Amino acid sequence: GIGLDLARFAAGGAIVTGVDLSETAIELARKNFEWQGLKGNFLTMNGEDLNFPNDAFDVVYAHGVLQYTPDPYQMTQEMFRVLRPGGEAIAMVYNRISWLNALSKVMKVELEHEDAPVLRKYSIREFKQILSPFPKVKIKPERFPVKSKLHKGWKGAAYNYLFVPSFKIVPRPLIRPLGWHLMAFAYK
């Protein structure tokens, strides 16, 4: 991507390296950092074959990456390899049993990136399997419905004034597994 999350880490004092398969994304990330006056290293690289030594990083961050790669297990192995002992990998994938999947079918509205060449959505169990190189993994579903200006007309009104308030009255333990994002915190 264009380094939005990476910029937050850099602004907080982290020394950051961003990789992407796309030259365009790398160039946009560089421009984003220049515009914000931040320092970062950006490289065009395949996440399934990282050109870094073993134990090179304290943190590996892959937000919305694993679901688009042809071999997510290989990418996870690479994340594990380049992470130093005691380091943390933070990853996010889309949740297959999310409220948003159900709503998009009912409302007949496509979700972002549905046309991507590779897009997988995972259950918590499947995500844990992909992260199996890590000895300790915590997965937390998140991203629950909030009012939106994205859709107009009756669909927007139904979402904002019926669905969102209805979702908020359901007890949290019942909706917790239905978050759109599955966030993983994995430790080496």
Looking at the chain, how many residues does it have? 188
Residue 117 makes CB contacts below 8 A (sequence gap 6+) with none
The answer to whether 167 and 98 have CB atoms below 8 angstroms apart is: no
Strand partners, 18: 42
- pLDDT for 160 equals 75
Confidence of residue 73 (pLDDT cuts 50, 70, 90): very high
Residue type, 27: E
Q: Tens of pLDDT along 94-104?
A: 888 776 666 66
pLDDT, residue 187, reads: 98
Look at residue 121 and tell me if it is in a domain.
yes
- What mean pLDDT, rounded, does the chain reach? 86
> 1: how many CB neighbours lie within 10 A of its CB?
16
Residue 72 has pLDDT above 60, yes or no: yes
**Alpha carbon distances (Å) from 114 to 149, 178, 185:** 20, 19, 26
- Tokens at 112, concatenated: 């972002």
Q: Mention every residue, 6+ apart, whose C-beta is less than 8 A from residue 128.
A: 137, 139
Nearest of 107, 103, 87 to residue 95 by alpha carbon:
103
- Is there a contact between 144 and 171 (Cβ–Cβ < 8 Å)? no
Is 64 inside any structural domain?
yes
pLDDT for residue 166 is more than 80: no
Tell me whether residue 104 is in a domain. yes
The helix/strand/coil state of 71 is coil
Q: Is pLDDT of 168 > 60? A: yes
The answer to whether position 81 is within a domain reads yes
The pTM of the full predicted model, rounded to 2 decimals, is 0.81
Segment 104-156, tens digit of pLDDT: 666 665 655 555 455 688 999 999 999 999 999 999 987 666 677 776 787 77
What is the C-alpha to C-alpha distance for residues 173 and 118, in angstroms, rounded to an integer? 32
- The domain that holds 152 is classified in CATH as 3.40.50.150
Structural domains in the chain (count): 1
Full residue range of the structural domain in which residue 145 is found: 46-187
